[in-house]
Amino acid sequence: MTLSKPTPVGSDPENPWYSMLRCLRCHAALRLLHGELACQACASTYPIDDEIPRFVPQESYAEGFGYQWNRHRLTQLDSYSGMPISRDRVMNASGWTAEELRGKTVLECGSGAGRFTEVLCETGAIVTSFDISSAVHANAASNSRFSNLRLLQASIYDLPLPEESFDYLICFGVIQHTPDVERTFKTLFRYVRPGGRFCIDVYAAPIAYLHPRHLLRPVTKRIPPARLYGIVQKIAPKLLPLSMMLTAIPRVGAYLARLVPVANHRHLNLPNKKAMRDWSVLDTFDWFAPRYERPQTRRRLQRWTKEVGLSKVSIERHRGLYVISGIK
């Protein structure tokens, strides 16, 4: 066997993590051969781009996400903002602690620029993290310092990973942006071991549909990402002060601000104006660019969890999200 560069992020030649990867076609083990992953049984090969094994075509419906996360690689990272915003979101939503995660295997699905990857890696968990888009390169640029990170570019619908093998699964901000939310939701549980824990969030319907962005999305989601980003980058900083002024009005302010099509993170108390502007541009783009955005009702989520056979599950409302967590 020829071991040639590049080797996948986080891999130790003595104990290569990619030996856990499976061929998408025949499920046999893969091995590193001439800088690619090659199936030991059939002729399939999988490229390694900048040290990240790739199991999807370079282009997909999530191209806008790749663009946004590479433009905003650092914006939402706690190590960059200096605030524990991502850490609090993971720990508060899931109820997990850093102590319990240490040494456990965690599967992070749809990791974007890796704001939650960083939090999970810091606990000492063994984190397998993937995204369908080129966002994985932003994640690697920020988080490849963690030797406990295994990073790949892959889709939830076709994962090169062994089923029922992870102690923990986390998936934030993703499932509403996939073409078949029910299939996405149900597929995730296949990778959690019996007795393992999961935490998934999704935009809450019907409230999320009442947002005025849905009037513009049929047009904006068709605009190429770089062009749309240019528009958002010009307009969002102009609208943000008006939105901030409205949110400051007691009682009705938050409702009034919804009429201004710009993301406003007043509640996060970000450290300075630049951070507020960057988060606003990022999240305004994130409203208008995705090909799919399908919020879900509590009733539908309850039905799906029953159909998957989950009994220890809770569905909690946090701001505009439902958080589904429990034990498989």
Ligand X SMILES: C[S@@+](CC[C@H](N)C(=O)[O-])C[C@H]1O[C@@H](n2cnc3c(N)ncnc32)[C@H](O)[C@@H]1O
Summarize as ranges the residues that interact with ligand X (CB under 6 A): 62, 65, 69, 110-112, 115-116, 131-133, 135, 155-157, 172-174, 177-178, 286
Q: Which is nearer to ligand X, 64 or 246 (CB)?
A: 64
CB of 91 to ligand X, least distance (A): 15
CB of 276 to ligand X, least distance (A): 18
Question: Which residue's Cβ has the minimum distance to ligand X?
Answer: 112
Beta-carbon-side half-sphere exposure of residue 191 (alpha carbons within 13 Å): 27
CB of 251 to ligand X, least distance (A): 30
CB of 23 to ligand X, least distance (A): 18
Q: Which is nearer to ligand X, 173 or 196 (CB)?
A: 173
CB of 288 to ligand X, least distance (A): 12
Q: Which is nearer to ligand X, 131 or 278 (CB)?
A: 131
Q: Which is nearer to ligand X, 62 or 240 (CB)?
A: 62
Q: Which is nearer to ligand X, 32 or 177 (CB)?
A: 177
Q: Which is nearer to ligand X, 133 or 243 (CB)?
A: 133
CB of 173 to ligand X, least distance (A): 3
CB of 160 to ligand X, least distance (A): 12
Phi first, then psi, for residue 296 (nearest 5°) are -125, 150
Q: Which is nearer to ligand X, 102 or 183 (CB)?
A: 183
